Amino acid sequence: MTPADLSFLARFLKERSGLIIGEDKRYLVDSRLGPVARKAGIASIGELIGKLMRGGDTALAQSVVEAMTTNESFFFRDGTPFTQFTDVVLPQLIAARAIQRKIRIWCAACSTGQEPYSLAMLLEQKAALLAGWTVEIVATDLASDVLERARNGLFTQFEVQRGLPVRMLVEHFTQEGDQWRISPKLRNRVQFRTLNLLRDFSPMGAFDVVFCRNVLIYFDEATKGDVVRRIAKQMPADGYLVLGAAETVMGATAPVRSHPNHRGLFMRTDAPAPAAARPALGTGAAHGATLATPPATSLQSKIAAFRR
């Protein structure tokens, strides 16, 4: 692989998936694309890149893009976002959507499905509270190979032991040899679709909660900003964006800002102040205002009831 090959590949990947690779990622290119070349009967990575330059082979191009993605995921990854989902996000949304009784959740880079299935398990725990509600989980990824695995819902013994409490394993999975399959009930709670975050996703409609974790880290600042901006447009003013553990959105013009009380949760910059931070309405508050905005106490008591 010549320097020219590598710089072509870098441009190709940035354009197709947003992935940024530097000169230091040469070893990664070798180890990821070696198998792709072999499978396609191509003698070397240099030759493989030559084929990409000439264009025309869309299947090969897609395999290269997919091979370069990092798909690692595990159930309840990092813990906190999932606790926040049950303790903060869900109670607020249940209070705020009491009329529509509908919540839409999007996992924007779901890989092999652990993230949406973790959410599905949490929703299952709250099934009694959510009776009569429609809760949609849409899970998307660029790579069709990982989506196929996600749809299959079959996980290795290693995968089900990282982050998944054993009681949930026993409750929601059945053993198939030394692998474990997610129950049809949870499987059917999640809709898996192919989607490239670089492309227009506005037709998917609005989402109350967006999990976009451990994917933006592979993009450059401009791409990351653009994706976050377009995600924010799909969120209602009181929607939540959940980023990966070490991910932030910087800048005065950022479309989202960190939740004042919950690190890792983001809300639209123009979102109303979260209920807990809202000043309590005194007895002197105008009646109209009380009607328009339910007093914090009623929202809070609903939330407290939910947590119980």
Partner 1 sequence: MKHCLVVDDSSVIRKVARRILEGFDLKISEAENGQSALALCKQAMPDGILLDWNMPVMDGYEFLVELRSLPGGDAPKVVFCTTENDVSYITRALRAGADEYVMKPFDKDIIGSKFAEVGLL
Contacts to partner 1 by CB under 8 A: 79, 157-158, 161-163, 165-167, 169-170, 174-175, 178
User: In whole angstroms, how close is the CB of 158 to ligand SAM at the nearest point?
Assistant: 15
- Residue 161, contacted partner among ligand SAM, partner 1, none, CB below 5-8 A by kind: partner 1
* CB 87, min distance to partner 1, A: 17
Q: Is 73 in the site for ligand SAM (CB under 6 A)?
A: yes
CB of 66 to ligand SAM, least distance (A): 7
Is the Cβ of residue 141 or residue 159 nearer to ligand SAM in the bound state? 141
Please, which residue, 174 or 298, has the CB nearer to partner 1?
A: 174
Nearer to partner 1, 167 or 287 (CB): 167
> With binding defined as CB under 6 A, does residue 63 bind ligand SAM?
no
Residue 72 binding ligand SAM, by CB under 6 A? yes
CB 48 within 8 A of CB 36: yes
Name the segment binding ligand SAM (CB under 6 A); options: 6-14, 167-175, 183-191, 210-218.
210-218
Are 126 and 90 a contacting pair, CB within 8 Å?
yes
Using the minimum distance from each CB to partner 1, give the nearer residue, 86 or 300. Answer: 86
Interacting residues toward ligand SAM by CB under 6 A: 17-18, 69-73, 77, 109-111, 115, 141-143, 146, 196-198, 213-215, 244
